[in-house]
Copies of this chain bind each other. A is one copy, B any other.
Amino acid sequence: MPSIDIHADVVDLTRQLVDIESVSRHERAIAGAVEQALSALEHLSVTRHGNTVVARTELGRDHRVVLAGHLDTVPVNGNLPSRLEDGILHGLGSCDMKGGDAVILRLAATLTEPVHDVTFVLYDAEEIDAALNGLNLLGQSGPDLLEADFAVLMEPSNGVVEAGCQGTLRVEVRTRGERAHAARSWRGVNAIHAAAEVLTRLNAYEPRRPVIDGLEYREGLNAVGISGGVAGNVVPDECVVTVNHRFAPDRSEAEAEAFVRELFDGFDVTVVDSAPGALPGLDRPAAAAFIEAVGGVVNPKFGWTDVARFSLLGIPAVNYGPGDPLFAHKQDEHVEVAQIVRCEEQLRAWLTGAVGAGGDAR
């Protein structure tokens, strides 16, 4: 089994992690190395759940925060082992998200007296089906282990905080008609023609832009798919428009669904997928101190991420980590090592109380 030197500097530690191949469903080796390294630290209480490792300080602080990262990567694409060149670390997982994992492990190794209790979570299977996602499974089997006032999910965000996340709802809007030979089309009813009204309503849609905790979200309603047609000579009897609604975190899934159903009133609407948004939760003391420590810049998160899983557990969460997300899942994945170093410094400042007054004082 491979092992890691958790006492190396954060860039070297990132390289070590990248060089342990850990494509989704093959995280046993890296989880073993992480568990072994954390278990050697006396100030942490470590538990393992499948290939998810949880390490906690137990200092009795008033507040507890979570730092979380996933250990898995998308499939190898000729981009291993790692290569460090001119301050850029190249290799699968360097950006998404072993730089963030290395920051978590460095802080776990060195912060023996943080101002908040900290739960460090390194989990598996983030890149695949939600049913296998280690954070999701842990939230179901051992939610107590995740209890906290605030969570930082260290997905690549160029080292800028992205708070909350929008929810997502996918529906099929279906029109029906009646088949006929296209040469005698007046005997049928064209279901594709009937979809004109569905698309017209989509074009007329005006997105809400609610401001929550000072962040402006921006909703969206888009056809992401359309299909219809029986044969080249047949008037089609069905057309399906798949619509994706992105909704700000001040709306519940039920409210989002009601909105979409009303907008497509008169059509057959079927929900095929739904996930709630997550409120930014920046009003919580631990969060406010965190924002100050990382420089005060916060953007709303428009996409859906695992922060919503924390939200479901009642824990406000933000995305914040090294790496440009545009290079995630790309063959030429890479990360600026300076970003990894800065993330470690900023989180350390927050968790040692060197910046901001700490959670209680704000």
Least distance between A59 CB and chain B CB atoms (Å) = 38
| A222, B181: Cβ atoms closer than 8 Å | no
| B235, A242: Cβ atoms closer than 8 Å | no
| B244, A224: Cβ atoms closer than 8 Å | no
| B304, A195: Cβ atoms closer than 8 Å | no
Cβ-closest chain B residue relative to A235: B222
A residues 141-168 with Cβ under 8 Å of B? 166, 168
Interface residue A260 (Cβ < 8 Å from any Cβ of B): no
One of B184, B229, B235 near A226 (C-beta < 8 A): B229
The residues of B that contact A239 with a CB separation of less than 8 Å are 226
Interface residue A182 (Cβ < 8 Å from any Cβ of B): yes
**A232-B226 in contact given A193-B199, A195-B199, A199-B192 (Cβ < 8 Å):** no
The residues of B that contact A199 with a CB separation of less than 8 Å are 192-193, 195-196, 199
| A233, B244: Cβ atoms closer than 8 Å | yes
Interface residue A225 (Cβ < 8 Å from any Cβ of B): yes
Cβ-closest chain B residue relative to A221: B185
| B228, A192: Cβ atoms closer than 8 Å | no
As a 0/1 sequence over residues 243 to 272 of chain A, the CB contacts with chain B under 8 angstroms (1 = contact) are: 010100000000000000000000000000
One of B193, B202, B218, B224 near A223 (C-beta < 8 A): B193
Interface residue A234 (Cβ < 8 Å from any Cβ of B): yes
Cβ-closest chain B residue relative to A200: B196
Least distance between A127 CB and chain B CB atoms (Å) = 14
The residues of B that contact A192 with a CB separation of less than 8 Å are 199, 202, 222-226, 241
Cβ-closest chain B residue relative to A239: B226
As a 0/1 sequence over residues 181 to 205 of chain A, the CB contacts with chain B under 8 angstroms (1 = contact) are: 1111110001011011001101100
A185-B246, A223-B229 are known; give 6 further A-B pairs, CB within 8 A. A168-B183, A183-B220, A186-B207, A186-B218, A196-B203, A233-B244
